[in-house]
């Protein structure tokens, strides 16, 4: 087996143990392999090992890989910041956009989604830590944004995505993931049909699963360490 195949197996084992500890069904937690900064060849290895869903932060970089791997079963998720001038690339090349945090961006994605493609699957990024400089909609503005996005015909709202601050231990990591779960349940109680709570990364996927994550986004533990950008 390749290193990537071995790493994928190890991550699936971590997910299974975390589900067991939390009394959850492992089929309710999907694995998104975050392939940012890694070449298409690394994604191809993961595809060969059965991985299907891939997350990318840098839109221009991702489009190259999406084109190189056209015809494979890869499913592409945009998980990085989306500026207005990049919405067309996202609408034309991705299956999912998880980092939508403004109605204007959602409307552009809706208008630019090509007619021959399925609706773009969307998660709203929510800033549960309240840091003013962080990406994500503020929790008190979430419900209005979610209902507005759910009306857009070329988008399909699937849930929420969040990136809490790193935590020193399991207990505090669980506490940092809890608010997103609460917001997710509240939106469902308001009648939105959502199935995706995207939270948890290499360092904190156990805590995220404990708190109710349905999709963990794992980069380093699958593909290895990333060189700092710009080197
Ligand atoms: C890079 C990234 C990840 C993966 O992080 P790792 O620590 O490498 O697992 C997950 N989500 C987002 C939004 C990211 O930017």
pLDDT tens-digit map of 68-120: 999 999 999 999 999 999 999 999 999 999 999 999 999 999 999 999 999 99
CA atoms of 227 and 231, how far apart (whole Å)? 7
- Say whether 197 sits in a helix, a strand or coil: strand
Position in ligand 1 atom list of the atom nearest CA 34:
4
**Residue of minimum CA distance from atom 7 in ligand 1:** 202
57: Cβ below 6 Å to ligand 1?
yes
What Å distances lie between residue 60 and 84, 138, 208, CA to CA? 14, 27, 29
60 CA distance to ligand 1 middle (Å): 17
Residue 229 is predicted with a pLDDT of: 58
- Identify whether the C-beta of residue 162 lies closer than 8 Å to the C-beta of residue 125: yes
Mutate to test the pocket of ligand 1, among 34, 76, 228 (most ligand atoms within 8 A of CB): 34
For the stretch 187-216, pLDDT in tens is: 999 999 999 999 999 999 999 999 999 999
Confidence of residue 132 (pLDDT cuts 50, 70, 90): confident
Integer Cα distance of 192 and 157 in angstroms: 9
The pLDDT tens digits for 155-177 are: 999 999 999 999 999 999 999 99
Q: How high does pLDDT run on average in the chain?
A: 96
Atom of ligand 1 nearest to the CA of 220: 8
Ligand 1 in reach of 212 Cβ (< 6 A): no
Q: What share of the chain is helix, strand, coil (3-state, %, to 5)?
A: 45, 15, 40
> Residue 126 — φ and ψ, nearest 5°?
-120, 135
Band of the pLDDT at 50, cuts 50, 70, 90? Answer: very high
Among candidate residues 222, 229, 225, the one with its CA nearest the CA of residue 42: 222
Of all residues in the chain, the percent with pLDDT exceeding 90 is: 94
Mean pLDDT of the region 60-68: 97
For the CA of 221, the closest atom of ligand 1 is 9
Q: Is the pLDDT of residue 231 over 60?
A: no
């Amino acid at each position: 087996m390749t290193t990537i195949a071995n790493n994928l197996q190890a991550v699936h084992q971590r997910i299974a143990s975390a589900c067991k500890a939390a009394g959850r069904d492992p089929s309710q937690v999907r694995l998104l392999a975050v392939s940012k900064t890694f070449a298409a060849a690394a994604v191809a290895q993961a595809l060969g090992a059965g991985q299907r869903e891939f997350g990318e932060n840098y839109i221009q970089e991702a489009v190259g890989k999406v084109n190189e791997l056209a015809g494979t079963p890869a499913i592409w998720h945009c998980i990085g910041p989306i500026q207005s001038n990049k919405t067309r690339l996202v609408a034309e090349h991705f299956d999912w956009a998880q980092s939508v945090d403004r109605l204007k961006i959602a409307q552009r994605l809706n208008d630019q989604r090509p007619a021959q493609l399925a609706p773009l699957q969307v998660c709203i990024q929510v800033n549960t830590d309240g840091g003013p400089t962080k990406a994500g909609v503020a929790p008190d503005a979430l419900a209005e944004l979610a209902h507005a996005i759910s009306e857009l015909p070329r988008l399909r709202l699937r849930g929420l995505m969040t990136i809490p601050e790193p935590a020193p231990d399991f207990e505090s990591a669980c506490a940092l993931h809890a608010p997103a779960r609460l917001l997710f349940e509240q939106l469902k109680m308001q009648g939105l049909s959502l199935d995706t709570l995207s939270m948890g990364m290499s360092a904190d996927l156990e805590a995220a699963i404990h708190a109710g994550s349905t999709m963990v986004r794992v980069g380093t533990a699958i593909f290895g360490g990333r060189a700092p950008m710009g080197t």
